Amino acid sequence: MLKLHFAPNSRAGRILWLLEELQLEYELNEMKFHPSDLKSDQHRERHPLGRVPVLEDGDVSIYESGAIVEYILSRHAPGKLKPEISSNLFPSYLQWFHYCEGMVMPPINIIVVQTILLPKERQNAEALGQAERLLSKTLAPIEKQLNNKEYIIGDFSAVDIMLGHACFMANRLGRVEESMNNLRNYIKNIESRSAFKKAINT
């Protein structure tokens, strides 16, 4: 059985959401989002940096959320939530799948550090402002892509697990502009999914 090492309010939510969407059986090791759990010797054996998610599948242990999504789809859900290689949607799928970690998450990470993780006296207003401006720029192409679409490439796919979760996080941080109507509707679509509710509320 698949085993997911998970902490709330982290990228691990993507994997739990995917498992729920696919209705796969899994075991959940829920940890605190705190060094006492994540930086423990036991967890560092799973992930050298003490982070989540980590997925175990028999003798396989794999981390990095995008890699885990691809692994699960390839080995446990072939043909699901991903267009065929021959499909005209496949290049778009690849682009937006990787746009998540390549473009959207870096400024989100800085915003989280500067507003939540660091104490007030160590926060840097200039770094925060730069990250906020960059995030706005990276969300703009998503807003355009969502014209006349409920989900990123049309139908719900694993792109929405990756990029949709990032957009949800940006919105929760209050960084999705009021004028981005497509993006706001998209986030509502995601939040209405029963698998998402179960995963993110865990």
Per-residue pLDDT band for 99 (boundaries 50, 70, 90) equals very high
Question: Is residue 46 assigned to a domain?
Answer: yes
Per-residue pLDDT band for 201 (boundaries 50, 70, 90) equals confident
Residue 143 has a pLDDT of: 98
The domain of 14 spans 2-76
Reported pTM: 0.95
- Same domain for 111 and 147, yes or no, is yes
Question: Is residue 70 assigned to a domain?
Answer: yes
Q: Choose the final residue of a domain: 48, 76, 104.
A: 76
- Sequence-separated (6 or more) residues with CB below 8 Å from residue 167: 104, 139, 142, 176, 183, 186, 187, 190
Residue 11: is its pLDDT beyond 90?
Answer: yes
Q: Are the beta carbons of 47 and 54 closer than 8 angstroms?
A: yes
Residue 46 has a pLDDT of: 96
| Chain segment 119-161, per-residue pLDDT in tens | 999 999 999 999 999 999 999 999 999 999 999 999 999 999 9
95: CATH: 1.20.1050.10
Question: Is residue 85 assigned to a domain?
Answer: no
12: CATH: 3.40.30.10
φ, ψ (nearest 5 deg) of residue 33: -80, 70
Mean pLDDT, rounded, for 19-46 = 95
- Same domain for 33 and 100, yes or no, is no
- Same domain for 55 and 138, yes or no, is no
Mean pLDDT in the chain?
97
CA distance 176 to 67: 27
Residue 202: is its pLDDT beyond 70?
Answer: no
- Same domain for 99 and 69, yes or no, is no
Report how far Cα 84 is from the mean position of its chain's Cα atoms: 22
| Chain segment 36-78, per-residue pLDDT in tens | 999 999 999 999 999 999 999 999 999 999 999 999 999 999 9
Looking at the structure of the chain, the number of domains it has is 2
What whole-number percentage of the chain has pLDDT above 90? 98
Q: Choose the final residue of a domain: 34, 51, 76.
A: 76
Q: Are the beta carbons of 68 and 53 closer than 8 angstroms?
A: yes
| Chain segment 152-195, per-residue pLDDT in tens | 999 999 999 999 999 999 999 999 999 999 999 999 999 999 99
Residue 12 has a pLDDT of: 97
